[in-house]
Amino acid sequence: KLMVTIRRCTKEDEKAVLELITNVMSKEFQDAASAYPMEDVEQIATAYGGIGDAFFVAVDDHNKVVGTVAVKKEDERIALLRRLFVAPTHRNLRIGKKLIEHAIRFCREAGYGEMIFKTTSRMSGAIQLCMKNGFVQRAHIALGPIELLKFSLSLNPQKG
């Protein structure tokens, strides 16, 4: 059985993260690549180093990065869910689900009230995962050939 651990991205993971995301984007989402500048992934520690920010990786038992998810602070109340990727070799193993759950837990603990996920209509895997986890579509913007979708999840922090 495949063991996957989700943990914070370290300096040592950064090259593998960049490779994974670049590969998936160039193979599966070429036409959307321009909508997703890579600066944040090229400098994870800087882009996700703030309070309320996080970049998580899913690693297999050989410590190989097989998935990513990031949380970026939008404001005191709202967090952005970003960079949800699972390696093509490791799909349909519930890794994406674990990544989202991990990110949601982080956001609850950080005191956010809402998570926002923006994506293109092409990223159907990510969209299905988010909807399964309670995200609701809030907006739909046509951007030339690409449709941008915005999903939102209310976190109502549990008191207790």
pLDDT tens digits, 102-144 = 999 999 999 999 999 999 888 888 999 999 999 999 999 998 8
Both tokens of 148, joined, read 């941008």
**So what's the pLDDT on residue 157?**
52
What DSSP character marks residue 112?
-
Both tokens of 123, joined, read 């990223």
Q: What's the alpha-carbon Rg for the chain, to the nearest Å?
A: 15
Strand partners, 117: 81, 151
Write down the pTM of the prediction: 0.92
Q: What is the spatial distance between Cα 111 and Cα 128, in angstroms, rounded to a whole number?
A: 25
- For 45-69, the pLDDT digits (tens) are 999 999 999 999 999 999 999 999 9
| Residues 17-33, mean pLDDT to the nearest whole number | 88
**In this structure, are residues 65 and 22 in contact, taking their beta carbons and an 8 Å threshold?**
no
| Residue owning tokens 């050989």 | 62
- How many Cβ atoms from other residues are within 10 Å of residue 38's Cβ? 12
**So what's the pLDDT on residue 2?**
78
